Amino acid sequence: MDTQRKLEILSQDAQYDLACACGSSERDRRTRGTGGKWLYPVTLPSGGYSLLLKTLVSNACSNDCKYCPLRRGANVARCSLTPDEIANIFLEYRRTQHVFGLFLTSGVTGTPDRSMERLLDTTKLLRRKHQFRGYIHLKILPGASDAAVEEAVRSASAVSLNIETPGRHHFAKLSECKDYDRDIIRPLTLMSRLTARGQTRARVKCTTQFVVGASDETDAEIVKYMEGLYERLKFDRIYFSAYQPGLGDPSIPGEQALRRQPGDALLRREHRLYQTDFLLRKYGFTGKELIFDAGGNLALDRDPKETWAHAHPEFFPVRANTADREKLLRVPGLGLLGVARLLAARQQGTLRSLAGAGLRGRLAAKAAPYLVWT
């Protein structure tokens, strides 16, 4: 198999790991580049967005993650790229396609540290031989040693390790060969410590990903872990990947639940979790304020901020001409940009409607019933 064909396969297989980019807005969406390669958006240090080239080093894997189409025993075309191949591909792609950086992940071939060595060798080649000083995101593999985690943090711009699901009880239903505390929580905690404020590598970003719906976790359980990741471990971002039906072992809870759900239910659930993530990170909400149904899940037919508003009629209406930013951010339909425009327009005089702040359309119509202008 030639290098180009291997890259097409490995780039395609890398799509299942979203812990570098993808969110609830169009600018966060991945896109296909030439040759079937996936490109992912990343925020630049100076603001704005650029693209990452993303690939697996190898799609061979000795792990038994029951939700993963690349798990051991699965019938897929296996291949690997050498560090030299990846470096040459990336540098050429960067020259011709103007990508900003590289995301490297891999299946576990042999031991986690043997696979980490291949990722780290690629990074060393780019950093030392080719003098590349740009963005490299490295996936830390479950079970990697402390030394491998430390080396990844030293050489990368960003690191990630997928938490997969909230807690060992749910995790045990997805893997029999991995240990949740040893292989997931321990390296996540070390990543946090190595990149903490005041440390040499404090600027290295840490992210993680939940595989939503593969096990039988609830949204409330995910949100509890999200708060821990943000508040205690100080992670930069959390991503969510809806389990894709038919890719995993038929025995996992997710496959059984899919038979009882509408076809797009998991994708809508993923979207609600992204919205919840924004409420926690950007809008001043806490996990205790979020509204869950009797089963511990977010509503699928209404966004989480609107659900909160319906449960707190005493908070409304909000006085659009005098309310502070924090109150305005609680209004359904008003986002960060909309609130910024409204506050700026208020400096020019009293407003009579959202149109006076240049806000129109569907979201403005959603916000209108929650505001008064006197």
Per DSSP, the residues of 155-175 read H-SEEE---BSSSHHHHTTT-
pLDDT given for residue 23 in this prediction: 44
Tokens of 207: 């992210």
The confidence score (pLDDT) of residue 262 equals 66
So what's the pLDDT on residue 18? 54
Q: What is the pLDDT of residue 188?
A: 98
Residue 73: the pLDDT is: 87
Distance of CA 134 to the CA centre of its chain: 21
Q: Which amino acid would we find at residue 76?
A: V
CATH class for the domain made up of 3-250? alpha beta
Cβ-Cβ contacts under 8 Å for 11 (sequence gap 6 or more)? 36, 37, 38, 53, 54, 55, 56
Quick one: pLDDT at residue 10? 83
pLDDT for residue 335: 95
Domain boundaries, the chain: 3-250, 313-372
From residue 354, how far is each of 236, 254, 279, 318, 359 by CA, in Å? 33, 43, 22, 13, 5
In the structure encoding, which two tokens stand for residue 111, read together? 């031991």
Contact 2, 193 (CB under 8 A): no
Q: What is the pLDDT along the chain (374 residues), one digit of tens a residue?
A: 788 888 888 877 776 665 444 444 444 455 545 444 445 555 444 445 457 788 889 999 999 999 998 899 888 889 999 999 999 989 988 887 667 889 899 999 889 999 999 999 999 999 999 999 999 999 999 999 999 999 999 999 999 999 999 999 999 999 999 999 999 999 999 999 999 988 888 899 999 999 999 999 999 999 999 999 999 999 999 999 888 878 888 889 888 877 777 668 888 999 999 999 999 999 999 999 999 999 999 999 999 999 999 999 999 999 999 999 999 999 999 999 999 999 999 999 999 999 999 999 999 999 999 999 98
Distance CA 22, CA 239 (A): 7
Q: How far apart are CA 102 and CA 158, in angstroms?
A: 10
Between CA 140 and CA 138 the distance in angstroms is: 6
Question: What is the model's pTM?
Answer: 0.89
Please tell me the distance from the alpha carbon of residue 152 to that of residue 345, in angstroms, as a whole number. Answer: 47
